[in-house]
C-alpha cells in the first residue's frame, strides 16, 4: 500500500531541501536571495536527477496562482508607482515555493514533511530556551550572524523582556511558536500516543504557549486560542463537557498570563491606549479610500510599498491584495486560499468520524487557519517564511486529495 512506501534518496533530499530553505531564511535573513538560489538549485537537482519523473498534486492551485500573477502584470499597466525590483522579488517569492511544494507526496513522505516542520519549530523553541538560560550566548551568536540594524532590533526586544530567540523580530518567533503550540495540541488529540508521549507533548505545549505569549504578539495568541477551540469542537463534538473543560483551561491560562506577567501588563496598557491598533486603523482607512479609486484593476503589484512607505505594508493582506490587483485579484486568491482549507476540513472531519489517524491533516488545517487569520492584521503573503510554510502544508493537503481521487 502507498502508506508503507519507503523513503528513497530523492525523498530525503526533498525533505532536506525544504528544511534548509526554512533554516537559511530564518538564520541568515541578510542573505535571503542567496539562500533562495541555493535551495532552488538543490531542488532542481533533486527533481531532474534523482526523481527524474515527478507528478504534481495541485495543478488547479498552480493555475490559479499563475492567473493571479498574470492579472497582477495587467494591473501594472495602471500604476505609476511600482518598483520593478519589488515586483520581481514578490513573484519569485511566490513561484519558487510553489514549484517546490507542488509535487505529489506519498503518505510516508507527507508525514516526514510534517516531522521536518515540527523539527524546525523545535529549533526556534531552542532559541527561546537559550534566551532564558544563557542570554549572553544568544547575544554573541546573533551578533555574529546579524547585521547591525537587525541586531539592534533583537537587543531592543531582549532588553524589554520579550521572547525573540534566534530572530530579530518577535513576530517571526511567535509565528513558529504558534505552529509548535498547534502541533503539540494536535498530538494531544491523537488516540495513538502512549502516556509518555502525551506527557511530553503536554509539556511542550505549555512551555511553547508561555514563550508565545511572551513575544507580546496578540494576533498569534488570539489565533492559537481560537484554532484550538475550533479543532476541539471537531474532535469532541459529542463530548461538550470536554470542550467546555478545555476552554476553561485556556481561559485560565490566558487570565494568569495577562494579569500576572510583565508582558501581560504591556498588552493591557496597549489595549487601553489611544490607538490599540498601533496605527493599523489609520492604514486601513487610507487603503479603503484609495481602493475606491481603482477597484477593478487595482494600483499595481507591490504599489503599497511605495504609497505606504512609512508603514512598509498594509498590515492586512486582503486589503493589500485588493488595493494592488483589484477585486479580481482578491477573488482569485480567495479561491486559492479556500480550496485547500475546505478540503482540509472535509478530510479531517471524515478521518475523525472514521476514527483514523488525523494528526497530519489536522496540523495542516491549523497552520492554514493561522496563516489566513494572521493575514487580517499582518503581512504573511509578502514575507518569505510564512508563505513557504503555508505552501508546504497546502502541498500535503493537495497530495492527500489526489490520493483519494486517483488512488495513488
| pLDDT score for 131 | 97
Cα Rg for the chain, rounded, in angstroms?
21
Pull the grid cell for residue 336: 486559492
With a cut of 60, say whether residue 3 has pLDDT above it: no
What is the number of residues in the chain?
408
Q: What is the Cα–Cα distance from 195 to 101, expressed in whole angstroms?
A: 34
Q: What is the Cα–Cα distance from 157 to 212, expressed in whole angstroms?
A: 14
Q: What is the Cα–Cα distance from 269 to 265, expressed in whole angstroms?
A: 6
Q: Kindly state the average pLDDT of the residues 195-205.
A: 94
Mean pLDDT comparison of 52-56, 220-224, 282-286, highest-scoring range = 220-224
Q: What is the Cα–Cα distance from 266 to 278, expressed in whole angstroms?
A: 13
pLDDT mean across residues, the chain: 90
pLDDT band at 223 (very low <50, low <70, confident <90, very high): very high
With a cut of 70, say whether residue 263 has pLDDT above it: yes
pLDDT band at 2 (very low <50, low <70, confident <90, very high): very low
103 forms beta bridges with: 56
| pLDDT score for 163 | 95
- The percent of residues above 70 in pLDDT, for the chain, comes to 97
Residues 6+ apart with CB under 8 A from 191: 355
pLDDT band at 222 (very low <50, low <70, confident <90, very high): very high
Q: Kindly state the average pLDDT of the residues 236-242.
A: 84
Q: What is the Cα–Cα distance from 184 to 201, expressed in whole angstroms?
A: 5
Q: What is the Cα–Cα distance from 44 to 99, expressed in whole angstroms?
A: 10
pLDDT band at 310 (very low <50, low <70, confident <90, very high): low
Q: What is the Cα–Cα distance from 268 to 259, expressed in whole angstroms?
A: 8
Q: What is the Cα–Cα distance from 288 to 125, expressed in whole angstroms?
A: 38
Pull the grid cell for residue 205: 505545549
Q: Kindly state the average pLDDT of the residues 54-83.
A: 86
With a cut of 60, say whether residue 311 has pLDDT above it: no
- The percent of residues above 90 in pLDDT, for the chain, comes to 60
pLDDT band at 290 (very low <50, low <70, confident <90, very high): confident
3-state secondary structure of 290: helix
With a cut of 50, say whether residue 322 has pLDDT above it: yes
Pull the grid cell for residue 94: 511566490
| pLDDT score for 167 | 95
Model confidence pLDDT, tens digit, residues 339-390? 999 999 999 999 999 888 899 999 999 999 999 999 999 889 888 899 999 9
With a cut of 70, say whether residue 4 has pLDDT above it: no
CB 104 within 8 A of CB 402: yes
Residues 6+ apart with CB under 8 A from 156: none
**Residue whose C-alpha is closest to residue 117's, from 401, 398, 381, 393:** 393
pLDDT band at 309 (very low <50, low <70, confident <90, very high): low
With a cut of 80, say whether residue 312 has pLDDT above it: no
With a cut of 50, say whether residue 28 has pLDDT above it: yes
CA distances to 232, 248, 324, 404 from 352, rounded to whole Å, are 11, 23, 40, 16
SS (H, E, C) the chain: CHHHCCCCHHHHHHHHHHHHHHHHHHHCHHHHHHHHHHHHHHHHHHHHHHHCCCCECCHHHHHHHHHHHHHHHHHHHHCCCCCHHHHHHHHHHHHHHHHHCCECCCHHHHHHHHHHHHHHHHHHHHHHHHHHHCHHHHHHHHHHHCCHHHHHHHHHHHHCCCCCCCCCCHHHHHHHHHHHHHHHHHHHHCCCCCHHHHHHHHHHHHHHHHHHHHCCCHHHHHHHHHHHHHHHHHHCCCCHHHHHHHHHHHHHHHHHHHHCCHHHHHHHHHHCCCCCCCCHHHHHHHHHHHHHHHCCCCCCCCHHHHHCCCCCCCCCHHHHHHHHHHHHHHHHHHHHHHHHHHHHHHHHHHHHHCCCCCHHHHHHHHHHHHHHHHCCCCCHHHCHHHHHHHHHHHHHHHHHHHHHHHCC
| pLDDT score for 1 | 40
With a cut of 50, say whether residue 141 has pLDDT above it: yes
Amino acid at each position: 500500500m502507498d502508506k508503507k512506501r519507503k523513503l528513497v534518496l530523492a525523498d530525503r533530499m526533498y525533505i532536506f531541501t525544504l528544511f534548509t530553505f526554512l533554516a537559511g531564511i530564518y538564520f541568515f535573513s541578510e542573505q535571503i536571495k542567496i539562500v533562495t538560489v541555493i535551495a532552488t538549485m538543490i531542488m532542481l537537482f533533486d527533481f531532474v536527477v534523482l526523481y527524474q519523473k515527478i507528478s504534481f498534486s495541485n495543478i488547479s492551485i498552480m493555475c490559479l496562482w499563475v492567473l493571479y500573477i498574470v492579472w497582477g502584470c495587467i494591473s501594472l499597466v495602471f500604476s505609476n508607482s511600482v518598483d520593478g525590483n519589488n515586483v520581481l522579488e514578490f513573484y519569485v517569492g511566490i513561484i519558487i515555493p510553489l514549484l517546490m511544494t507542488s509535487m505529489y507526496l506519498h503518505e510516508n513522505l507527507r508525514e516526514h514533511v510534517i516531522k521536518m516542520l515540527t523539527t524546525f519549530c523545535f529549533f526556534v523553541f531552542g532559541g527561546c530556551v537559550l534566551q532564558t538560560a544563557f542570554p549572553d550566548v544568544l547575544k554573541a551568536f546573533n551578533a555574529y550572524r546579524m547585521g547591525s540594524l537587525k541586531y539592534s532590533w533583537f537587543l531592543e526586544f531582549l532588553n524589554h523582556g520579550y521572547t525573540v530567540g534566534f530572530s530579530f523580530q518577535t513576530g517571526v518567533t511567535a509565528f513558529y511558536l504558534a505552529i509548535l503550540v498547534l502541533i503539540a495540541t494536535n498530538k494531544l488529540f491523537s488516540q495513538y500516543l502512549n502516556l509518555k508521549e502525551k506527557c511530553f507533548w503536554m509539556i511542550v505545549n505549555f512551555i511553547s504557549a508561555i514563550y508565545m505569549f511572551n513575544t507580546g504578539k496578540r494576533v498569534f495568541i488570539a489565533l492559537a486560542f481560537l484554532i484550538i477551540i475550533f479543532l476541539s469542537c471537531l474532535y469532541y463534538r459529542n463530548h461538550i463537557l470536554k470542550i467546555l473543560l478545555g476552554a476553561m483551561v485556556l481561559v485560565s491560562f490566558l487570565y494568569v498570563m495577562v494579569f500576572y506577567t510583565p508582558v501581560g501588563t504591556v498588552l493591557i496598557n496597549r489595549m487601553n491606549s489611544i490607538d490599540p491598533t498601533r496605527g493599523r486603523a489609520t492604514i486601513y482607512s487610507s487603503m479603503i479610500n484609495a481602493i475606491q479609486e481603482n477597484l477593478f484593476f487595482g494600483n499595481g503589484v507591490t504599489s503599497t510599498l511605495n504609497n505606504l512607505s512609512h508603514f512598509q505594508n498594509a498590515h492586512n493582506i486582503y486589503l493589500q491584495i485588493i488595493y494592488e490587483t483589484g477585486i479580481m485579484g482578491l477573488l482569485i486568491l480567495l479561491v486559492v486560499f479556500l480550496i485547500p482549507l475546505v478540503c482540509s476540513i472535509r478530510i479531517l472531519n471524515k478521518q475523525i468520524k472514521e476514527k483514523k489517524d488525523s494528526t497530519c491533516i489536522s496540523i495542516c488545517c491549523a497552520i492554514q487557519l493561522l496563516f489566513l487569520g494572521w493575514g487580517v492584521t499582518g503581512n504573511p503573503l509578502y514575507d518569505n517564511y510564512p508563505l513557504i510554510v503555508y505552501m508546504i502544508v497546502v502541498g500535503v493537503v493537495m497530495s492527500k486529495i489526489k490520493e483519494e481521487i486517483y488512488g495513488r
